[in-house]
Amino acid sequence: MSTLQPHIRCSEEDAAKYAILPGDPARVDRIKEHLTDVKEIAFNREMKSISGYYKGVKVMAVSTGMGGASTGITVEELHNIGVEVMIRIGSCGALQPEINMGDLILINGAVRDEGASKAYIEEIYPAIPDTGVLMNLIEATKDLGYAYHVGRGRSHDSFYTDREDEIDHYWSGKGILGADMETAALFIIGGLRGVKTASILNTVSLYEGNLEEEINNYVDADNAAAVGEEHEIIAALETIVRMDKKN
Ligand SMILES: O=P(O)(O)O[C@H]1O[C@H](CO)[C@@H](O)[C@H]1O
Ligand SMILES: O=c1cc[nH]c(=O)[nH]1
């Protein structure tokens, strides 16, 4: 008997081996445009889910909402129904001056500056993606000709503390490429459950840029950040096709 998961509201019969995880439910509709035979599964709380086919491979797209806590719930429930590979397609703020709007950051490790991953395991445990998924992702992104960087990210819970500039400068000085809110939880919680994970972050805010203005522009306009979003969707889908061919 299939089990309906209480938050994502999906069950085993909805599952695909591969899932793409944006934070924003609106991004699920933009992923939909790249798929055939789309099935709208559920939209409960911040978790919107669909399935469809890309070049013959079945994939799910499920939004996690913002932050590690809802991401952790999404990852657990997708794992419960049988999803084996989860690739986040997120947005981020750059922490290095050479990273441009719409550049993709392929995360090879994340600073665990959030709460959800710490609820599972001590901070000395590393937040890293699956090596095989990351290698396929790097190759796919390179072949597609997109601007990309490979390096470390910082996942955080806060957005409007009184110390945001100071915190960004600190992590920039430690070589961190970009900041998001979900990657560390995905890597830790997914990794502990045996899920293969990766995270692609589209740059929607520049280092020392005006964060509020730039995120408003990303939401409202057709610009480099919107192009970056299209790139991360295609990079994730092509990564899945590569992995599926090798299995
Ligand atoms: O665009 P998404 O995937 O939601 O990612 C980023 O955007 C949100 C903040 O604006 C956070 O969730 C952050 O991680
Ligand atoms: O610092 C930032 C900027 C954009 N998005 C985030 O999650 N964090």
**What are 80-123's pLDDT values in tens digits?**
999 999 999 999 999 999 999 999 999 999 999 999 999 999 99
Query: Residue 24: CB within 6 Å of ligand 2?
Result: no
The amino acid at residue 38 is V
Q: Whose CA is nearest to atom 12 of ligand 1?
A: 66
The CA distance from 129 to 195, in Å, is 10
pTM for this one? Answer: 0.98
Ligand 2 close to Cβ of residue 47 (< 6 A): no
Q: Note the pLDDT of residue 183.
A: 99
- How many angstroms does the Cα of residue 53 sit away from the middle of ligand 1? 25
The answer to whether residue 66 sits within a structural domain is: yes
Retrieve residue 36's tokens: 């055939």
| Complex ipTM | 0.97
Token pair in block for residue 108: 């090879």
CA distance 116 to 72: 7
Number of compact structural domains in the chain: 1
Q: Is 77 in the pocket of ligand 2 (CB under 6 A)?
A: no
Domain presence at residue 6: no
Q: Which ligand is the nearest neighbour of the Cα of 68?
A: 1
Report which protein residue has its CA nearest ligand 2's atom 6.
Answer: 180
CA of 91 to the centre of ligand 1 (A): 5
Rounded CA-CA distance 16/1 in Å is: 17
Please indicate whether residue 205, judged by its CB atom, sits closer than 6 Å to ligand 2.
yes
Q: What pLDDT, on a 0 to 100 scale, did the predictor assign at position 220?
A: 85
Residue 3 located in a structural domain: no
CB contact set of 111 (below 8 Å; sequence gap of 6+): 127, 152, 153, 154, 155, 171, 176, 184
- Assess if residue 1 is contained within a domain: no
Q: Is residue 78 part of a domain?
A: yes
Per-residue confidence (pLDDT) for residue 1, from 0 to 100: 56
**Would you give the distance in Å from CA 127 to the centre of its chain?**
14
Q: Which domain holds residue 176?
A: 12-246
Q: What is the CATH number of the domain that holds 18?
A: 3.40.50.1580
Query: Across the 247 residues of the chain, what is the mean pLDDT of every consecutive 10-residue run?
Result: 91 98 98 98 98 98 98 98 98 98 98 98 98 98 98 96 96 98 99 98 96 90 93 98 95
Residue 159 in any domain: the answer is: yes
- CA 90 to ligand 1 center in whole angstroms: 6
**Does residue 22 lie within any of the structural domains?**
yes
pLDDT value at residue 162: 96
* 151 is a domain residue: yes
- Cβ 157 vs Cβ 111: under 8 Å: no
Query: In ligand 2, which atom is closest to the CA atom of 215?
Result: 4
**How far apart are the CA of 26 and the centre of ligand 1, in A?**
12
Contacts of 47 (CB under 8 A, 6+ apart): 7, 8, 9, 25, 62, 63, 64, 65, 70, 74
Q: Which residues have any ligand 1 atom within 6 Å of their CB?
A: 22-24, 66, 90-91, 180-182, 215
What sign has the CA pseudo-torsion 132, 138, 144, 146? Answer: positive
